[in-house]
Amino acid sequence: MPRFALKIDYDGTPFQGWQRQAAGQPSVQQAVEDALARLEPGPHTIAAAGRTDAGVHGTGQVATVDLARDWDPFRLSEALNFHLKPAPVAVLAAVRVADDFHARFSAIERRYLFRLVARRAPVTHDKGRVWQVLNPLDTDAMRAGATHLIGLHDFTTFRSSICQAKSPIKTLDEISISEHPYPGGAEYRFALRARSFLHNQVRSIVGTLERVGAGAWPPEQVKQALEARNRAACGPVCPPQGLYLSGVGYPVDPFA
């Protein structure tokens, strides 16, 4: 059966996450599989590079699917987008891939973006797409705190209590923090890159760094929290709506 890789963009607001849920609970996976069933009748199961939580968005999610028909990739993406309406899900690209390519197991890195807006007035256009705080943050202090998290570490402190990963040891390759103008305030963007992440790791890290930026924590306390290997030492876990799965890396980019 021909195998295809799909690059998928979605607004996670109306969904209970990427993964298929119990009957009546909407998911991004279910939306795409239902669209596939309109093209080729029967059940379909797609495999994704990452299982985003409820309310988390995707701008570069990758999924693989085996189909009976050897579709022209452009026609496949166009047909899927037609049948995905009106769900806030779009297939940005479809490509034919080798039978041994797998969206999850072939990936060598995942990239996440977190958007945080600081302003007094409620956000309007970005409601549900950013985390809002009221006061400006110290970008340099957050960068100083983030340096303690780069590299190979035991991330128990920044791991959800229900995380199913076999080990809390992960290598965080990059955290970059940039500040941008935003109407009535400022936007802070956190870009994180690693081969894989623990459950709630990104949200735990950003929530902790926000405390540093707000002046509630000195940057050195991030190192102390990491070394504590204790969930209780973590800062607040920030809400999901500012988080985006922005990209997935492979040894050879199938969409290049």
| Nearest-10 Cα torsion for 138, 140, 141, 146 | 120
pLDDT over 90, % of the chain:
96
Q: How far is residue 182's CA from residue 162's CA, in Å, rounded to a whole number? A: 35
Q: Is the pLDDT of residue 246 over 80?
A: yes
More confident residue, 214 or 162: 214
Rg (CA), the chain: 19
Position 139 scores a pLDDT of: 98
Nearest to 9 by CA among 79, 67, 71, 93: 93
53 a catalytic residue: yes
Confidence at residue 174, expressed as pLDDT on a 0 to 100 scale: 97
Q: What is the mean pLDDT of the chain?
A: 97
Domain locations along the chain: 3-106, 109-247
pLDDT at 46: 96
pLDDT tens sequence across 156-192:
999 998 898 999 999 999 999 999 999 999 999 999 9
What integer pLDDT is reported at residue 150 of this predicted model?
98
Q: 3-state secondary structure string, 68-105?
A: CCCCCHHHHHHHHHHHHCCCCEEEEEEEEECCCCCCCC
pLDDT band at 75 (very low <50, low <70, confident <90, very high): very high
For residues 135 and 158, is the Cβ–Cβ distance under 8 A? Answer: no
The whole-angstrom distance between residue 58's C-alpha and the CA centroid of its chain comes to 6
The pLDDT tens digits of the residues spanning 37-65 come to 999 998 999 999 999 999 999 999 999 99
Q: Which of 9, 11, 34, 53 is catalytic?
A: 53
Does the bond joining 86 to the residue before it have cis omega, within 30 degrees of 0? Answer: yes
Closest CA to 62 of 17, 89, 39, 94: 94
Whole-model pTM?
Answer: 0.96
Q: Is residue 23 over pLDDT 90?
A: no
Question: How many angstroms separate the CA atoms of 249 and 174, rounded?
Answer: 14
**Stretch 127-150: mean pLDDT:** 98
**For the domain with range 3-106, which CATH number is right: 3.40.605.10, 3.60.70.12, 3.30.70.580, 3.20.20.10?**
3.30.70.580
pLDDT attached to residue 142 = 98
pLDDT band for 24, please (50, 70, 90 cuts). Answer: confident
Distance, CA of 87 to CA of 252 (rounded, Å) = 31
Average the pLDDT over 136-156 and give the result: 98
pLDDT class of 21 with cuts at 50, 70, 90: confident
Question: Looking at residues 76-103, what average pLDDT do you find?
Answer: 98
pLDDT of residue 22: 79
Do the domains at 3-106 and 109-247 have one common CATH topology?
yes
CA–CA distance, 99 with 101 (Å, rounded to integer):
6
CATH 3.30.70.660 fits 109-247, yes or no: yes
Rounded to whole angstroms, the Cα distance separating 113 from 199 reads 15
